[in-house]
Amino acid sequence: MTETSKKSTLFHGIGVLYTGDPEREEIADGALVVEGDTVVWAGERADAPTADRAVDAAGRAVLPGFVDSHAHLVFAGDRTEEFAARMAGRPYSAGGIRTTVAATRAATTPALAANTAALVAEMIAQGTTTMEIKSGYGLTVEDERRSLEIASAFTPETTYLGAHVVPDGDPDAYVRLAAGPMLEACAPHARWVDVFCERGAFDEDQTREILAAGIKAGLRARVHAGQLGEGPGVRVACELGAASADHCTHLSDRDVDLLATSGVVATLLPGAEFSTRSPYPDARRLLDAGVTVALATDCNPGSSFTSSMPFCVALAVREMGMTPLEAVRAATRGGAAALRRGDVGVLRPGARADLVILDAPSYVHLAYRPGVPLVAQVWQAGRRVV
């Protein structure tokens, strides 16, 4: 690390500092000191130490960079017609994924990388500083491997999702491929393994087989569960010690109990419900049961083509029974929990210096003023990127 990069910066004049730290989650008239890429102090402005330079927030709110723990960014093609048809009354099913698979297989690697870069740039501009990126639109050994190689250029949080949907052919043979040669080729480029455990995709036994193989290969598990109806996804996630069960739109009482006692994070993806005109997850039910909840965009070209965490925060408050504080917590610390990260999603000593300055005095404005571009500055690892 260079001498310049280790200079300290004092952020002061903060209207509300949301730290995400359970010990002191909000600080009025707060201040923050960053040294290099790390937070070294957080507290009240009157107690702030001196620093080499200062950034005046001018009464605006500061919060951790958003942590988007569920995104499908490596793809080609467009599904505008499918979206328009849904808005005209056709229900959503998992089958549309195959349309994107065909386009992704046909695309060049530079084209896929460029599209991924554009989506990552959109996310950062809206305050996301940590994102997970899945494969899942290749569904051949080579196309899944190259998808993860592309994703790895943008984030360490890469997920092998060869089990996104069964392409044409024998489902049992495909499960063997996904748990065998495809996994072997993809594991060096992935941190996580995921399965879409849903009707029209993979059943309980298939999900367990692929996840178990991924865990044996050194990957950690996460699961698409309960998007289209109640099913075994949450149970399998909890049995195998997955970090998160994602969607969680349709849950039984037993599912909620398992999530509350297992430590598996329930990652809610309201962009999918918005884009498919489907019922939203009952976040209030989960929070009241003691479940750790995360929010993520589920950015993908079919069922949730948004890269905006502020939009998801607003949806969570308006449609899912969350308070603004709970929604921001889920979009920061909750997302970090879903990725088993303690260094992001919070602003406390030792954390990575990822922060957002809003053009508003409080994070509440993310829900109070939906659709308004409130992200004024984004700092990633101590460096201003927006």
Residue list for the binding site for N-formimidoyl-L-glutamate = 137, 300, 302
Three-class SS state of 179: helix
- Which helix (H) or strand (E) is 290 found in, with range? none
CA distance 342 to 346: 8
Q: Which residues are annotated as a binding site for Zn(2+)?
A: 70, 72, 224, 298
Tokens of 190: 């992935």
* Cβ pair 289, 256 in contact under 8 A: yes
* Cβ pair 129, 378 in contact under 8 A: yes
Q: Is 380 left (phi over 0), alpha (psi -120 to 50) or beta?
A: beta
CA distance 194 to 22: 29
Q: Which residues are annotated as a binding site for Fe(3+)?
A: 70, 72, 224, 298
* Cβ pair 190, 159 in contact under 8 A: yes
* Cβ pair 377, 357 in contact under 8 A: yes
Q: Nearest Cα to 269, choosing from 206, 334, 323?
A: 334
Q: Which residues are annotated as a binding site for 4-imidazolone-5-propanoate?
A: 79, 137, 164, 227, 303
Query: Would you list the DSSP string of 4-31?
Result: TTT-EEEEEEEEEEE---TTS-EEEEEE
Q: How far is CA 121 from CA 114, 280, 385, in A?
A: 11, 28, 10
Q: Which residues are annotated as a binding site?
A: 70, 72, 79, 137, 164, 224, 227, 298, 300, 302-303
Tokens of 94: 């998992």
